[in-house]
Structure 1
């Protein structure tokens, strides 16, 4: 044997010889030796992160480093109140992020069952049931319907064996298995002599020799690919990291210059000067920003949870809002992963069948006209034959129709109910059968009714059934000469719609006939009709794709299914370019440059492998696009991990897909992805609002201290008072913006560019304007207090309250960046806005009037008339920035 020849291309006897085994299996002693050598048949468990490391990771932020350093220095200098306030801010941020991530980890902890729990094997020539972890290379495994395949097998026997391989190949219907070798370069889905670990036996029986276990299986190989796939950071994380670094460098540079200025030129004491610099740094550094960003993301996570989604990593929800391409699997994602008869062709008519999944409900139409199916003899005969030549069971589970058995047979049962009513089988009882076998490609049953009349029902591949027919059922129930050419054209027309075609034929038998042989069928059947089956698209997926296109998001289908089927589904769900399809073979012939060009225009990729999916996602990212990848199979896992936003299906998704994804949809509903995109865009908008509120207010606080220092003025606020402002307002008023509702035009805007900067020109100007207005307001009230002969403590108390009032008015302004803030809806705000405003107001009254707070922060009571003056300053501030905004928007509208 050539070692390079894969086992699917070898004869079964060669595989048995290669593993030194026989059709009767291994001995128990040899199996034990191989288990000791190779280890148990398990997939490697995903490493768990230590809770301690998860908690400490939330301190890994350059802004937090600066605050921790400030806390240490203030403690050394004996300013313990300052130290305590700084540490409260830092620890609050870490705890919020840790708790939220922990909830997501717990939600995903229970799903790990890729291998079957028990397996039947031959040991010492006898059948034994063992734990699947004890299966070894060389074992002969016995397969039966309903069982999971425990390892990768080279089949040595197959009797009507059908295996559901959707988790590996994406193909929606079970695959016929046989023992004949396949070509060496056959794709995974065409290796009919193989059964792969984790797939499900849908029908029939078989035997196979184990060629790979655990990590060496196809599932294990894909799991190994995951460890080599680079996980990209999200756009928000990248931007915030870059922004935080440069902001910190700027703040520290300014602080160092001011420290040198005050110590060497103004001759302040070092300790006093250091506390001033700490005050400036604390004022400028948005230390509450990480906490508020985490809370904003957590609010988005909770909103998605209400839509049956689990967000496993916080930034994933925001990333969804930035996606410009969604790469989606077909089976189970865009489609229902359920077969349904969509077309019926008889000698005289062509019919379209409506419905959803296995529910036996749906109209039957000829063109645009609905018909009474019971009035058509040929349809009635198709209904009876489809029900009799069938081993599936259709069940109504409280309004949800499910099947036991082969999905295609379940679809035929649903069709027979749609045509023939509640019990199309009537009193017919099976007397004998010829099970489906890949060699003869049909199934036949012999049934008798209560009067002893016998009839044969046959279903199978059209070309095979046509060869066995002597005639066809005519429109008037007569038997006509078989028009083989017309039937072949009809079969091709159905297949062109992406439907799988079955032919149905019957014949009458003598009343006493008790057995059924192949000879009873050859050249003696009457063809009744053809049926076309398809895994139908989800109705909500069609609407979701349309919404994606409206939002400027390109949807691309990447599936392991056949090109014709994929193209048909693409047309039905409304993909932008459904007529251009590339297969895995086409992709293999392209280098990365050619693939990069092709992926931009092509929306359907069929017969793809895990490597192809990974290449496609990478190619799209190389073009600067933010890519979301959806899927449910093991074959989707590497691409899910690589994508900017990986979305796994929760109900029918594999464990590998869920582990690799950042988001899991509990309802497997593609429409939930659109809801996630909307929520993601809302989260980003709210984050932008938080930043647009935080940076100008912090800049105003810092500028006030810097100007006072440079002009040798008394500081209008102390360092600990600045810490109080930032603690009380940033983690209250900032949080209010996290709960802002979705704006009306959210899903009518194009996706934001991947590299769009957080600090735009408009935001920079707004920071400058607000900082100058803060400077004027705070220094103005401080100068007024001094002019009135107030004490320094009262002047500083009034300055602090002025800053807080300005921040409250700025909050109401920033809620409406692109429209007027002078509307009733804007003033009314949200419950969270008013709750935080009332909370901050109460805190400021305590800060100003409670003796214990006055002692801690050096404040004194503010006279009522001066309090009214402070509110008046806030109103003037709001009016100025609102007028400026309207002028700026009018100017932009004029340019447009």
Structure 2
């Protein structure tokens, strides 16, 4: 609606008043997650138990005067701290870089002058000027509007812009009753002006806006710990209790039998490091960090690492239509004129009978439009009608008749310099155009059938009409012209090109897809059929959902894949209902309205390019390129990560048995110590993290996307996994102890026995890696696979072993002796055979372990 509003008579707030309000109420911005300081990151790194044990052991060595051993341990500490600290810093920077949608700038009237200020400095009571392309900085009441259309899809999910009208009451007493809908005098923070202009007075800022209320509601949703985190915590607790008791026994036994309590403490620390329960968490963190890095290469940012574990278990994907399944931009797809249809995408040239329809659709639009519909009309007009008589560059606009509550149509009056008469072009809702053209009931009925047919195809329709006028004085109302109906323009919000294939991939992987949208059911069903969504004929609307009890919703949601005309709270209700049915829910979205559901879902997937900060901070995963296909890629990678993580954890469980056994065995039987803290640190620092990299880099199983989603309750350390790990660990321990006893039996000294045993342990360790990478193929085939990380680790570990064995300075630091050819033969044979014999059991072992 058009009103007269004199900006020159408005003074707005003074700078002093605005400053006082700003000081009292704070900045116009939403609270964000607190950024970690460098000092807090450093403290968190130093809290790792392995580092603390290394520091304690290094201090004891210094106290004993053994500076060389202390130096080795401190070097390990600095290396681990550096790697972990660098990873934390990179994560913080990635999250900070993602917040690329900073506070919009606002045009306000302060002290009678118009000025642009940062949106965060807007205060309650400010007068803001709204123009095409502006993002509204705060909630407000419209004082004046001229053809003002606002895109509120961030809040309502409705892809179509809504009309705004000016308020008629006292602005301070007005409160918005419900978001969305045409002809309301309210505007909201974060929404976008796509057409017209207006003036509004700010009513709420910051957390008090509608966007802020949704952000505040996120704090009431508790995040759930992942199954893997809970399981790992239980294992850590068990190991901690058992390991603590055992280490205390070792210190006491060593001190009583050998009379050396400080070295007994070192022996206890060695056993602690061998049994350290947090070691599982450290390896898990490293492995998942590598997964985060790999996903980032696919334009997928993981904000919460447990989401990687849950990805492969997803059974339902709840998808917000606007901007996720579709491109969120209207494309002129279909024309209707003179009883015939024309599909533009199928035509390189346009038949003459449709020229007039495009011509007057263009004349009823702005010359340089911002509105996406008018941009699309202009693009097609220039494409099909350039260099024809239907383009009137010399015509001048004389008057505009804007949209109103009573007439959903707008008209532009043009004057032709040749004929001197006025030409009027109008476009708007088909019913309004029918009314302007004074059609008979029979004509209306006939055209309404065509309108319904096009609407059923998911098209948004605009009617177009024309008129001419000879008098010098133009009428006040559009109804005073004699309009002639020309035709209909049909616009479609196109589906993303990769969506249909992605939906097929989801169904193949046993993942159900549900569309949740604020649009009408007809539009949703049309999109559903385009993308191949199952059961497109069944849907539930928001009002229907509001009247359902929990039991009815739980039943109907099992077979319904379309939810239309829903409001934000209902999206959260849908996600929670699915969770109560035992589904593992992934939810995609980009708007503020999606944030609660994103946070409540097992996996929240936000859009990075057009998504809001609130949505991104609530989500577990952010698609940096907004590509729906990336979701399927993320699921594939998630399944691969979980498969390989399972293998890696099994390996870690196995390898700790011989390490712990070698730390404990000599003490119980009063034999020379084999493993000192430096040796265990060597193994932990080089082999375990490196092996995590190898397992992470292992290619996916061929059938990974043809399986049903794994049960989220499936334990990482199930009976089969535990049994296999125990067999492998006991076999390794038997081999290295056999070598150790053999060396002592042959009269070799402490250094010789330690060297032989340690080298055998390293070879057995590397064999264990290869054996656990794949139980479906031979060791030789595994070694020749495309896993470059495996070759790097094997070469690196063997090179490190050679260096500590044959470089005199390093050999002395590790208290080793020189190995000869026959020694190396024993090391290689025992180290390899202690694991290789288990390959004979592969036919009895489930490949999915």
- TM-score, L = length of structure 1: 0.84
Q: Equivalent residue for 2:171? A: none
Task: Work out whether residues 770 and 782 of structure 2, in 8 Å CA contact, stay in contact via their aligned partners in 1.
Answer: no
Q: Does 1:374 align with 2:322?
A: no
Moved more, 836-845 or 722-731: 722-731
* Superposed counterparts of 1:720-731, under 5 Å: 720-731=678-689
Moved more, 858-867 or 735-744: 735-744
* Superposed counterparts of 1:113-262, under 5 Å: 115-121=103-109, 132-133=119-120, 135-179=122-166, 186-189=178-181, 192-257=184-249
Q: What is the alpha-carbon distance in structure 2 between the residues aligned to residue 75 and residue 604 of structure 1?
A: 69
Q: Equivalent residue for 2:822? A: 865
Q: What is the alpha-carbon distance in structure 1 between the residues aligned to residue 264 and residue 165 of structure 2?
A: 84
Q: Equivalent residue for 2:466? A: 506
CA separation of 1:628 and 1:51: change in aligned 2, threshold 3 A: farther
Task: Work out whether residues 401 and 478 of structure 2, in 8 Å CA contact, stay in contact via their aligned partners in 1.
Answer: no
* Superposed counterparts of 1:746-757, under 5 Å: 746-757=704-715
Q: Equivalent residue for 1:332? A: 323
* Superposed counterparts of 1:714-793, under 5 Å: 714-718=672-676, 720-793=678-751
SS of equivalent residue, structure 1 residue 331:
helix
* Superposed counterparts of 1:424-443, under 5 Å: 425-427=390-392, 429-439=395-405, 440-443=407-410
CA separation of 1:40 and 1:779: change in aligned 2, threshold 3 A: closer
Q: Does 1:659 align with 2:617?
A: yes
- The Cα shift of 1:83 comes to 5.9
SS of equivalent residue, structure 2 residue 134:
coil
Q: Equivalent residue for 1:15? A: none
Q: Please, which of 788, 798, 815 is the counterpart of residue 831 of structure 1?
A: 788
- The Cα shift of 1:850 comes to 2.1
Q: Equivalent residue for 1:278? A: 269
Q: What is the alpha-carbon distance in structure 1 between the residues aligned to residue 182 and residue 67 of structure 2?
A: 72
Q: What is the alpha-carbon distance in structure 2 between the residues aligned to residue 273 and residue 35 of structure 1?
A: 65
Q: Equivalent residue for 2:841? A: 884
Q: Please, which of 518, 522, 525 is the counterpart of residue 564 of structure 1?
A: 522
- The Cα shift of 1:597 comes to 4.5
* Superposed counterparts of 1:411-430, under 5 Å: 411-417=376-382, 419-420=384-385, 425-427=390-392, 429-430=395-396
- The Cα shift of 1:148 comes to 2.6
Moved more, 223-232 or 836-845: 223-232
CA separation of 1:579 and 1:268: change in aligned 2, threshold 3 A: farther
Q: What is the alpha-carbon distance in structure 2 between the residues aligned to residue 848 and residue 434 of structure 1?
A: 89
SS of equivalent residue, structure 1 residue 343:
strand
Task: Work out whether residues 169 and 189 of structure 1, in 8 Å CA contact, stay in contact via their aligned partners in 2.
Answer: no
Q: Does 1:493 align with 2:424?
A: no
Q: What is the alpha-carbon distance in structure 1 between the residues aligned to residue 442 and residue 842 of structure 2?
A: 79
1:582-622: CA deviation from partner (whole Å, max 9, x where unpaired): 34434444455555555444333333343333343344344
Q: What is the alpha-carbon distance in structure 1 between the residues aligned to residue 176 and residue 212 of structure 2?
A: 21
CA separation of 1:532 and 1:82: change in aligned 2, threshold 3 A: farther
Q: Does 1:387 align with 2:359?
A: no
Q: Does 1:304 align with 2:287?
A: no
Task: Work out whether residues 387 and 424 of structure 1, in 8 Å CA contact, stay in contact via their aligned partners in 2.
Answer: no
* Superposed counterparts of 1:93-112, under 5 Å: 93-109=80-96, 111=99
- TM-score, L = length of structure 2: 0.88
* Superposed counterparts of 1:545-560, under 5 Å: 545-560=503-518
- The Cα shift of 1:180 comes to 6.8
Task: Work out whether residues 53 and 273 of structure 2, in 8 Å CA contact, stay in contact via their aligned partners in 1.
Answer: no
Task: Work out whether residues 383 and 417 of structure 1, in 8 Å CA contact, stay in contact via their aligned partners in 2.
Answer: no
Q: Equivalent residue for 1:368? A: none
SS of equivalent residue, structure 1 residue 209:
strand
CA separation of 1:273 and 1:373: change in aligned 2, threshold 3 A: same
CA separation of 1:611 and 1:422: change in aligned 2, threshold 3 A: farther
Q: What is the alpha-carbon distance in structure 2 between the residues aligned to residue 87 and residue 291 of structure 1?
A: 18
Gaps of 5+ in 1: 1-11, 13-21, 354-361, 365-371, 394-403, 473-480
SS of equivalent residue, structure 2 residue 149:
strand
CA separation of 1:709 and 1:203: change in aligned 2, threshold 3 A: same
Q: What is the alpha-carbon distance in structure 2 between the residues aligned to residue 412 and residue 876 of structure 1?
A: 75
CA separation of 1:414 and 1:471: change in aligned 2, threshold 3 A: farther
Superposition CA RMSD, Å: 3.6
Q: What is the alpha-carbon distance in structure 2 between the residues aligned to residue 63 and residue 622 of structure 1?
A: 40
SS of equivalent residue, structure 2 residue 128:
strand
Task: Work out whether residues 197 and 219 of structure 1, in 8 Å CA contact, stay in contact via their aligned partners in 2.
Answer: yes
- The Cα shift of 1:114 comes to 5.4
- The Cα shift of 1:763 comes to 1.6
- The Cα shift of 1:32 comes to 6.0
Q: What is the alpha-carbon distance in structure 2 between the residues aligned to residue 163 and residue 241 of structure 1?
A: 50
SS of equivalent residue, structure 2 residue 323:
coil
1:811-833: CA deviation from partner (whole Å, max 9, x where unpaired): 1111113x112454543452221
Task: Work out whether residues 106 and 128 of structure 2, in 8 Å CA contact, stay in contact via their aligned partners in 1.
Answer: no
- The Cα shift of 1:806 comes to 0.7
- The Cα shift of 1:797 comes to 0.9
Gaps of 5+ in 2: 169-173
Q: What is the alpha-carbon distance in structure 1 between the residues aligned to residue 586 and residue 224 of structure 2?
A: 12
Q: Please, which of 645, 664, 667 is the counterpart of residue 687 of structure 1?
A: 645
- The Cα shift of 1:168 comes to 1.7
CA separation of 1:548 and 1:75: change in aligned 2, threshold 3 A: farther
- The Cα shift of 1:538 comes to 0.4
CA separation of 1:338 and 1:841: change in aligned 2, threshold 3 A: same
Q: Equivalent residue for 2:434? A: 466
Q: Please, which of 466, 475, 493 is the counterpart of residue 535 of structure 1?
A: 493
Q: Equivalent residue for 1:612? A: 570
* Superposed counterparts of 1:18-57, under 5 Å: 24=10, 26=12, 28=14, 34-35=21-22, 37-44=24-31, 46-57=33-44
- The Cα shift of 1:756 comes to 2.3
- The Cα shift of 1:460 comes to 0.7
Q: Equivalent residue for 1:670? A: 628
Task: Work out whether residues 777 and 873 of structure 1, in 8 Å CA contact, stay in contact via their aligned partners in 2.
Answer: yes
Q: What is the alpha-carbon distance in structure 1 between the residues aligned to residue 18 and residue 748 of structure 2?
A: 93
Task: Work out whether residues 233 and 644 of structure 1, in 8 Å CA contact, stay in contact via their aligned partners in 2.
Answer: no
CA separation of 1:139 and 1:546: change in aligned 2, threshold 3 A: same
Q: What is the alpha-carbon distance in structure 2 between the residues aligned to residue 94 and residue 322 of structure 1?
A: 33
- The Cα shift of 1:414 comes to 3.7
Task: Work out whether residues 158 and 206 of structure 1, in 8 Å CA contact, stay in contact via their aligned partners in 2.
Answer: yes
Q: What is the alpha-carbon distance in structure 2 between the residues aligned to residue 754 and residue 222 of structure 1?
A: 29
Q: What is the alpha-carbon distance in structure 2 between the residues aligned to residue 231 and residue 424 of structure 1?
A: 63
SS of equivalent residue, structure 1 residue 506:
strand
CA separation of 1:287 and 1:233: change in aligned 2, threshold 3 A: closer
Q: What is the alpha-carbon distance in structure 2 between the residues aligned to residue 35 and residue 287 of structure 1?
A: 48
Q: What is the alpha-carbon distance in structure 2 between the residues aligned to residue 98 and residue 587 of structure 1?
A: 49
Moved more, 422-431 or 846-855: 422-431
Q: Equivalent residue for 1:582? A: 540
- The Cα shift of 1:490 comes to 2.0
SS of equivalent residue, structure 2 residue 324:
coil
- The Cα shift of 1:707 comes to 4.7
Task: Work out whether residues 457 and 523 of structure 2, in 8 Å CA contact, stay in contact via their aligned partners in 1.
Answer: yes
CA separation of 1:469 and 1:326: change in aligned 2, threshold 3 A: same
CA separation of 1:633 and 1:514: change in aligned 2, threshold 3 A: farther
Q: Equivalent residue for 2:371? A: 406
- The Cα shift of 1:84 comes to 5.8
1:275-316: CA deviation from partner (whole Å, max 9, x where unpaired): 444333333337655444333333323323322333344444
Q: Equivalent residue for 1:363? A: 346
- The Cα shift of 1:88 comes to 5.4
CA separation of 1:722 and 1:50: change in aligned 2, threshold 3 A: closer
CA separation of 1:881 and 1:89: change in aligned 2, threshold 3 A: farther
Q: What is the alpha-carbon distance in structure 2 between the residues aligned to residue 60 and residue 191 of structure 1?
A: 58
CA separation of 1:263 and 1:224: change in aligned 2, threshold 3 A: same
